[in-house]
Structure 1
Amino acid sequence: MSSPLPHGSWPTPITSELVVRTAARLGEVAVDGPDLWWSESRPDEGGRSVLVRRAADGTVADGLPAPWNARTRVHEYGGGAWTVSGGTLWFTEFSDQRLYRLDAGSDVPVPVTPEPAVPGGVRHADLVATPEGLLAVRETHADSGAAADVVNEIVRVRPDGSSDVLVSGPDFVAGPRPSPDGSALAWLQWDHPHMPWDAAQLVFRSADGTETVVAGGPGESVVQPTWAPDGTLWFLCDRTDVWSLYRKRPHGEVELVLDVGADIAGPQWLFGQSRYALLPDGRIVLAYGRAGSDRLAVLEDGEPRELELSWGTFRYVTAHGPAVVCVAGSPGSEPVVLRVDVGSTEPEILRPARRLGLDPAWFSTPEHVTFPTEDAGTGIGEAHALVYPPTNPEVTAPEGELPPLLVVVHGGPTGAAVPVLDLEVQYWTSRGFCVADVDYRGSVGYGRRYRDALQGRWGVADLDDVIACARFLAGSGRVDAARMAIRGGSAGGYTTLAALTMRPGVFTAGASHFGVADLGALAAETHKFESRYLDGLVAPYDPDAGPAGNPVHAERSPINHVEALDTPLAVFQGEEDAVVPPSQAEAIVAALRAKGVPHAYLLFPGEQHGFRKAENIRAALDGELSFYAQVWGFDLPAAEGIAPVPVHR
């Protein structure tokens, strides 16, 4: 144990270089006969989404050679960019958004869809292989570039690139699923101003063309339709407050099968998500969340039997014979690809986590904390957070010194804190910071009532909750009230900016990663998927009325409260971000400059919404740390050689 060192200056092996070294964000899982496939987004390959194949003999190799990048921009967030069947891989290539096919035994993908008139303007997602080719969600962009002119449809694409439109008319569609005999089709649809977690419908089209809304609509969301071999249609719906398991047998009524009092599903920001799977013997394996972590259970005779596993989060649950394959993680483990035989509960790690070479003593373990907050008419007077204490086995702080606090605001705002080992969190805790990842009202995992508590209150209830969390931790003597920072990306960046401009005096530093400064500009400039999101979160927006005709948007826009902005702020932005355009960051930076408030601004060329390239992830982490060091007056570990980020006044 070394001599005491001030919080923030603790030497640590968890550097920004380690954060990105051989890192990979694991994604969807697919089964193709004896082979297993999954996706990996790799920062050290420029954020390329690689598809990996594990053969029956256990051999693991990249199934998609460089420089191919299986990533779609449908809804801008993507997902469902690939599928594999009979050894043939179909995928959307990120650079041009065309569909490609890679046949078994070949390493040269061939284009399926033609070059569109608008570069990158015809995109496909939610791919499902059929005997005739593919079913897919197609998103077509017009020359105008306007969100209102984007068309979303379900199409059938043949191997020669020709296509038929199967579903058109709704503003959005997802989850095309053909029945086992191919005679019927089920899908999800929703219309503006709703988001899919607000009011998505499950629609069934029979062989004679008759269409029936099975479930969903205003106040009710449906996700993940799945057919059983006997023609039963399974799905998840939140009509009981939480996303629960339902079924509709052929010629039968909709039945509630399982309500565990916790959400089985999550928000459909991405295509291709899966939280349950049907096994060949009729059993169902499903994941659901409770108190900041997941359970994986098998449904037997109408009752869930929780599987005894050391992992605490489960995504992309996929049947594989009598087992399931999924992406699993825990506070002590980065995500892995896991196979679990539900009979023996014997887990097999198919794709291990990185070998970090670190003693687990370096890792901070989160505590799920519930704290009081302002009810403010929501009927809910408490919120939640995962709190990570500062953890370093080789350093102590000077006696009596409390750690600085980083309040993390997740994106969405329909997102959630996830208790999985994340080196970007440990980067801070191993240096002496306390990190609080807040599940403010509006977050998922606590039911629809908690999620809907943010409706009409974005910029109010979320601020109440992040401030209540900071004051709760400071009041309990766990953190230094004079060194509390707030940071977040996207919607979390908005809450960060709003807290510093509309509730000043609580935080003494902040960091906005591609955050929203002007709600009116966001409503006018953002992409189709979120172009009406603010109707529910804030108020309906009239694009022809200007700020005077949209008073709620104007009142809750941080850019309109810069007279109160005197807190040092670091701003990080992707130059090609179509969700929160760079103009949002530049507006707040201009205000900081005009007022002479200490600030830093890093703009990353080639990055979209969220940073995927290793060098940019490192620059953002080290730049933010350097910014806090300069603002709060502590030294950085000399061995890391972190260059001070320029702080302007």
Structure 2
Amino acid sequence: MTKVEHSYGAWPSPITPEAAAAVPGAPQWPTVVGPETWWCAPDPATATVGLTRRGADGQTRPVLGPEWPVGNKAIGYGGRPYLATPDVVVFSCSRDQRLYAIGGGDGPLSAADLPGGEPKALTPADAEGTVTNYSDPILDPTGTEVWVIREATRLDAAGALTDPAPRTTRDIVAVPLSGAAAQDPGALRVVARSHQFLSTIRLSPDGTRLSWLGWDHPVMPWETTDLMVATIVDGVATAAGRVLGGDDVAVCQAEWADDHNLYALADPDGWWNLFRVDLAADKPTATCVLPTETECGHAIWRVGSTSFAVTEQGVVLRRSLGEEALILWDPETGTVSDLALEWNEFATSVAGSADGRTVAVVASSPTESSTPLRIDLGHRAAVRCVERPEYEHEAWVSVPQRRHAEVEGGWQVPYIYYPPTNPEYQGPAGELPPLLIDVHGGPTSSTVTSRSLGFALFTSRGYAVASVDYGGSTGYGRAYRDRLRHTWGVTEVDDSVAVARALAAAGLADPARTAIRGGSAGGWATLAALAHSDYFACGTVYYPISDPATWYDEQTHDFESRYIHYLVGDPVKDAERFARVSPLAHAEKITAPFLMLQGLDDVICRPDQARRMVEAVEAVRPGLCRGHLEFPGEGHGFRKDETMAVCLQAELDLYASVFGA
């Protein structure tokens, strides 16, 4: 079919904002339960997450009814919310953050238990003035308790806004499966406490030792963490000590290899690689068993996130330098073999089966959305747990490409390029497409080459999109992450401009019609780019930080309340640097129109960050903010499909008005 010439950015497209907004979020937290595979499935229509299972018959069914949404608010971004065995299911209900169980009696679960059985409360309702959540559950050595990380926060007094750190505690607690603690909080037992933050609790195979990760303010877990090990005596962890980490070494996961050895991902050499920790000697020793200049680990943004699993055939782990692979490392021979070759992105939720023969992962690729996989290690066979859907408008979906742009200092900035794609239209000869620079949040995170209907909303209309892994992103080693240390508001702006210039130089983008967009730290980067550079014609800002001088301690949640020390510096000693990079402090320099989108329930980037920015710009240039939309019931990261549809339509309107599409 001959394509019709039409201006870039104005191509008719069947992909609507409503269709893009209705795409479910990525599956989360896969688990192998005997012949079944379980995972958490987000539902954009209800803004909730349900627990789902695929049986041995290949049929997919809900584990719980719709009245039992699964999830928790651990460290603000959530943690592993459930434990599933053939005998018991324990889960955190997002409705009230309590733990519930099905089963846990004398026999295995029956089909009648799920989803028809009424879950039994395991933990008490919150006392007045306290908010509690539970994450990362494991079974205790006796099988009569579940051990979890409990996070408890005392609420502010009425009308007050105080630092959350002194009001928040985290402990590893034992919860009776009998349900005794539901009415009697005294039935809960503290197993261990050590740090301000905890993650990844694991029992040794013989049940005599407990390991966990911990870190304290002001560091973030990708700076320094401690791998702790303690001996279990009468159900309590004793003689706890650090066996790896500390001194600017970050351990992001540890799993027991046997009763006396742990595998751990740590970065003393600048890369998250696999170590073996020997506890048999008088003094623990750690040896890197798979040294590579690639990243096998992850930044801990969610409690209990995992990048590897120990199996009977070796260690299955993610490995990346941008693009990812899933590999199996054999400790006997040292050989490495690839798994799931047709996939190249793997979420931080690698889970092994109890018998060590199977793993479950969430995977995606340039032509596939995220989906749970079950991998039989004996046959090296990866089975989709959900059949590939019939994508209605597949020919309109852009296939992403990995590229790099060179910046000062010889650094190569990775980015993912989505070319304009439409089977019916092409741009006129001599015209270049408008470009959207997409800046991921975090900022200690990364972008992925997954099939994206959200980006296709734009590329099918003739826009090019480039998603940038600016300095500070994960997947490229500690040195690349540390490019952002004390340079927030500078490095990500320079890297984003460099990518835009590289695409313009390659004849793939119109430098005069380039926009920037992002949420959270990406929203900050968008504002910083509009304030500190003149490259971008407009921007879209989702739930941003606008002023670092008021984004710490009581102004945000506990997890990130000291993050600013890494990103910018000490708020008092480095006040000049704070003022220099703050978009709010330079609102008068913003001359490009922008859109501001904010959830009213956001406690991470509070609505006043967006409001003050809009007010400051409007005081100087009325009408420059083309829309300041606030959404009740939305927090940090929008969940409702109707919210996202409104936002995406507003974006299309902004770009059309600025670029003349």
Judge which range, 304-313 or 189-198, deviates more: 304-313
RMSD (CA atoms): 1.8
Q: Distance in 2 between matches of 1:8 and 1:118?
A: 54
Match of 1:637 in 2: none
Matched, 1:285 2:297: no
Q: Give the one of 287, 299, 319 matched to 1:267.
A: 299
Matched, 1:220 2:249: yes
- Is residue 200–residue 305 contact of structure 2 (8 Å, CA) maintained in 1? no
Q: Distance in 1 between matches of 2:545 and 2:239?
A: 44
Cα offset, 1:553, TM superposition: 1.9
Match of 1:619 in 2: 646
Q: Which runs of 5+ in 2 are unaligned?
A: 104-108, 157-161, 182-186
Judge which range, 323-332 or 166-175, deviates more: 166-175
Cα offset, 1:564, TM superposition: 0.6
Q: After the TM superposition, which segments of 4 or more aligned residues of structure 1 sit over 3 Å from their partners? A: none
Judge which range, 294-303 or 407-416, deviates more: 294-303
Cα offset, 1:364, TM superposition: 1.7
Judge which range, 338-347 or 238-247, deviates more: 338-347
Q: Give the one of 337, 362, 366 matched to 1:331.
A: 366
Instruction: Note closer, same or farther for the CA distance 1:354–1:553 as it changes in structure 2 (3 Å cut).
Output: farther
Match of 2:106 in 1: none
Q: What amino acid is aligned across from residue 568 of structure 1 in structure 2?
A: P
Secondary structure at 1:387 match in 2: strand
Match of 2:229 in 1: 204
Instruction: Note closer, same or farther for the CA distance 1:625–1:87 as it changes in structure 2 (3 Å cut).
Output: farther
Instruction: Note closer, same or farther for the CA distance 1:309–1:593 as it changes in structure 2 (3 Å cut).
Output: same
Q: Give the one of 325, 328, 341 matched to 1:309.
A: 341
Q: Distance in 1 between matches of 2:498 and 2:243?
A: 41
TM-score (norm 2): 0.90
Where do residues 436-475 of structure 1 align in structure 2 (5 Å cutoff)? 436-475=466-505
Q: Distance in 2 between matches of 1:478 and 1:2?
A: 19
Q: Distance in 1 between matches of 2:133 and 2:612?
A: 31
Instruction: Note closer, same or farther for the CA distance 1:168–1:226 as it changes in structure 2 (3 Å cut).
Output: same
Q: Give the one of 582, 605, 626 matched to 1:599.
A: 626
- Is residue 85–residue 129 contact of structure 1 (8 Å, CA) maintained in 2? no
Q: Distance in 2 between matches of 1:88 and 1:207?
A: 23
Q: Give the one of 610, 620, 642 matched to 2:637.
A: 610
Matched, 1:93 2:93: yes
Over the matched positions of the two proteins, sequence identity in percent amounts to 35
Match of 1:349 in 2: 384
- Is residue 198–residue 303 contact of structure 2 (8 Å, CA) maintained in 1? no
Cα offset, 1:562, TM superposition: 0.7
Matched, 1:48 2:48: yes
Q: Distance in 2 between matches of 1:355 and 1:83?
A: 32
Match of 2:586 in 1: 561
Secondary structure at 1:530 match in 2: coil
Q: Distance in 1 between matches of 2:33 and 2:605?
A: 38
Q: Distance in 2 between matches of 1:471 and 1:7?
A: 19
Matched, 1:154 2:172: yes
Cα offset, 1:58, TM superposition: 2.7
Matched, 1:125 2:142: no
Cα offset, 1:598, TM superposition: 4.2
Cα offset, 1:580, TM superposition: 0.2
- Is residue 180–residue 231 contact of structure 1 (8 Å, CA) maintained in 2? no
- Is residue 277–residue 287 contact of structure 2 (8 Å, CA) maintained in 1? yes
Instruction: Note closer, same or farther for the CA distance 1:24–1:409 as it changes in structure 2 (3 Å cut).
Output: closer
Q: What amino acid is aligned across from residue 43 of structure 2 in structure 1?
A: R
Cα shift readout 1:171-198 (whole Å, capped 9, x = no counterpart) = 1111111111221111101111111111
Match of 2:439 in 1: 409
Where do residues 14-413 of structure 1 align in structure 2 (5 Å cutoff)? 14-21=15-22, 23-44=24-45, 46-103=46-103, 104=109, 105=113, 106-118=116-128, 121-130=131-140, 131-144=143-156, 146-148=163-165, 149-159=167-177, 160-161=180-181, 162-207=187-232, 209-252=238-281, 253-280=285-312, 282-290=313-321, 292-300=322-330, 301-307=333-339, 309-315=341-347, 316-320=349-353, 321-359=356-394, 361-375=395-409, 381-413=411-443
Secondary structure at 1:392 match in 2: coil
Instruction: Note closer, same or farther for the CA distance 1:421–1:515 as it changes in structure 2 (3 Å cut).
Output: same
Cα shift readout 1:565-602 (whole Å, capped 9, x = no counterpart) = 11100011111001100111111111232221242111
Q: Distance in 1 between matches of 2:351 and 2:566?
A: 33
Secondary structure at 1:228 match in 2: strand
Secondary structure at 2:385 match in 1: strand
Judge which range, 76-85 or 204-213, deviates more: 204-213
Cα shift readout 1:37-58 (whole Å, capped 9, x = no counterpart) = 10011101x2211100222333
Instruction: Note closer, same or farther for the CA distance 1:119–1:22 as it changes in structure 2 (3 Å cut).
Output: farther
Match of 1:638 in 2: none
- Is residue 367–residue 451 contact of structure 2 (8 Å, CA) maintained in 1? yes
Cα offset, 1:250, TM superposition: 3.8
- Is residue 263–residue 445 contact of structure 1 (8 Å, CA) maintained in 2? yes
Match of 2:159 in 1: none
- Is residue 374–residue 385 contact of structure 2 (8 Å, CA) maintained in 1? yes
Match of 1:640 in 2: none
Q: Distance in 2 between matches of 1:354 and 1:272?
A: 30
- Is residue 96–residue 120 contact of structure 1 (8 Å, CA) maintained in 2? no
Cα offset, 1:240, TM superposition: 1.7
Match of 2:184 in 1: none
TM-score (norm 1): 0.92
Q: Distance in 2 between matches of 1:552 and 1:164?
A: 46
Match of 2:523 in 1: 493
Q: What amino acid is aligned across from residue 96 of structure 1 in structure 2?
A: D
Instruction: Note closer, same or farther for the CA distance 1:33–1:308 as it changes in structure 2 (3 Å cut).
Output: closer
Matched, 1:4 2:39: no
Cα shift readout 1:121-172 (whole Å, capped 9, x = no counterpart) = 0111112233132111111111326412111222122222221122224111
Instruction: Note closer, same or farther for the CA distance 1:598–1:490 as it changes in structure 2 (3 Å cut).
Output: closer
Q: Distance in 2 between matches of 1:231 and 1:156?
A: 23
Match of 2:551 in 1: 522
Q: Give the one of 424, 434, 438 matched to 2:454.
A: 424
Q: What amino acid is aligned across from residue 660 of structure 2 in structure 1?
A: G
- Figure out how many residues of one structure are paired with residues of the other and give that number: 620
Secondary structure at 1:199 match in 2: coil
Secondary structure at 1:351 match in 2: coil
Cα offset, 1:262, TM superposition: 0.8
Cα offset, 1:518, TM superposition: 1.0
Cα offset, 1:91, TM superposition: 1.6
- Is residue 72–residue 78 contact of structure 2 (8 Å, CA) maintained in 1? yes
Q: Distance in 1 between matches of 2:155 and 2:507?
A: 57
Q: What amino acid is aligned across from residue 489 of structure 1 in structure 2?
A: G
